[in-house]
Amino acid sequence: MAQANKKVCVTGAGGYLGSWVVKHLLSNNYIVHGTVRQPGDAKYAHLNQLEKASDNLKLFKADVLDYDSLCSSIAGCTGVFHVASPVPSSSVSNPQAALNPTLNFFVELIEPAVKGTLNVLKACLEANVKRVVVVSSGSAIFLNPRWPEGQIKDEACWSDKEYCAATNNWYCLSKTEAESEAFEFAKRSGLDVVSVCPTLILGPLMQSTINASSLVLIKILKEGYESQENRDRSIVDVRDVAQALLLAYEKPEAEGRYLCTAHRIKARDLSDKLRSMFPQYNYPKSFTDGGKEEKLSSEKLQRLGWSYRSLEETLVDSIESYRKAGILD
Ligand SMILES: NC(=O)c1ccc[n+]([C@@H]2O[C@H](COP(=O)([O-])OP(=O)(O)OC[C@H]3O[C@@H](n4cnc5c(N)ncnc54)[C@H](OP(=O)(O)O)[C@@H]3O)[C@@H](O)[C@H]2O)c1
């Protein structure tokens, strides 16, 4: 992709992944428009401290459900990285949930994910953006009970929306619906849309709040579970995801979806590995059977030039950042 105009927009700039994407873009000499929902909030302070931020980063107040705010943020940009989307931990709070359990998921997850993505894409079309990189998720790939057993899951596999809903996997549904709608929009409008589908993202925190995927690792270190399911974990480093997004944007040949995953490990093996490096933490005491192994492939992304760091580096750097933030005290 031509480098003449290097102004791009990142939605959800202050989140876990968004912050690393902004850092990566600034260090690659991009001018970045970052969207945040509460400008001035201390939780975004780290962004202004990034190298080159004072000259090349401008934050905009925008909610993905507010089309006009997106238009102002995206105006003048050649590319957009659509990172913003709600990522719940185990529960989604909304007092109406007790009355109608599907309503809160719709309001808090599905609508911002799906309508939010379509709003971003419409604003991109309006602003004549050349390419949009949409951050989807491995959860838009894996949840498909009809996928032949033993066959590698890659970009050809889509999560089954009805199955997601029937099994209450509302986050998976939100990401599957948002990504498939994004490609439908691209087909109708001619907008150049590429998606990246990361699996569980770990790696150092830049922001002061704890996001849902980092909490998975923090709980393994702190919670002292009596028993945990010995499930497959597919892990990728947040810095490698930021690199994947840049490749998906810059490589002219990039098209369609890209599964972004690096290391597959059983929960018990992950716990053992962590314990051997950091024996002082409160690890799960036992594991129950975790079901079938998933075979995944990020070969398509590797063909674009993507590579990833070791799992040990990701774990050591994650834990170092949690320690510095006082999260493990
Ligand atoms: N972490 C993972 O393991 C993982 C794996 C696969 C895919 N992903 C995807 O990666 C993206 C970033 O996730 P993350 O892990 O970085 O989570 P995060 O730290 O919770 O970030 C989520 C971001 O979305 C923004 N957001 C949520 N609702 C919004 C709305 N209505 N309008 C505008 N912004 C909104 C938040 O903005 P505020 O800062 O204003 O709250 C925040 O910046 C998401 O699309 C997620 O689905 C994450």
Buried b (16+ CB within 10 A) or exposed e, 114-140: bebbbbbbbbbbebebbbbbbbbbbbb
d(CA 130, CA 22): 19
**Which of the residues 175, 222, 266, 292 is marked catalytic?**
175
The pLDDT assigned to 99 comes to 52
Which residues' Cβ are closer than 6 Å to ligand 1? Answer: 12, 14-18, 36-37, 63-65, 83-87, 112, 116, 135, 137, 175, 198, 200-201, 211, 213
Residue 205 phi, psi dihedral angles, 5° rounding: -85, 135
Q: Which of 9, 11, 16, 298 to mutate to test the pocket of ligand 1 (most atoms within 8 A of CB)?
A: 16
Q: Tell me which amino acid residue 6 is.
A: K
For residue 201, give the DSSP letter: E
Instruction: Output the residue whose Cα is nearest ligand 1's atom 8.
Output: 137
The beta strands (E) that lie in 124-252 are given as 131-135, 193-198, 200-202, 228-230, 232-237
Q: Which uninterrupted H or E stretch holds 313? A: helix 311-324
84 Cα–ligand 1 center, Å: 4
Could you tell me which residues come within 8 angstroms of residue 221 by beta carbon, excluding any fewer than 6 positions away? 274, 278, 281, 282, 283, 319, 322, 328
Q: Which of 20, 35, 37 to mutate to test the pocket of ligand 1 (most atoms within 8 A of CB)?
A: 37
294 Cα–ligand 1 center, Å: 25
Q: Which fold has domain 7-201+235-262+295-302?
A: Rossmann fold (3.40.50)
Query: Domain segments of the chain: what residues?
Result: 7-201+235-262+295-302
215 Cα–ligand 1 center, Å: 14
23 part of the active site:
no
88 Cα–ligand 1 center, Å: 9
Coil, strand or helix at 82: strand
d(CA 257, CA 194): 6
Q: Which of 87, 237, 301 to mutate to test the pocket of ligand 1 (most atoms within 8 A of CB)?
A: 87
CA-to-CA dists, residue 181 to 53, 119, 174, 193, 300, angstroms:
33, 11, 11, 11, 22
pLDDT by position in tens, the chain (length 329): 444 449 999 999 999 999 999 999 999 999 999 999 999 999 999 999 999 999 999 999 999 999 999 999 999 999 999 999 999 986 444 444 545 666 688 888 999 999 999 999 999 999 999 999 999 999 999 999 999 988 999 999 999 999 999 999 999 999 999 999 999 999 999 999 999 999 999 999 999 999 999 999 999 999 999 999 999 999 999 999 999 999 999 999 999 999 999 999 999 999 999 999 999 999 999 999 887 778 899 999 999 999 999 999 999 999 999 999 999 98
Q: Specify the length of the chain in residues.
A: 329
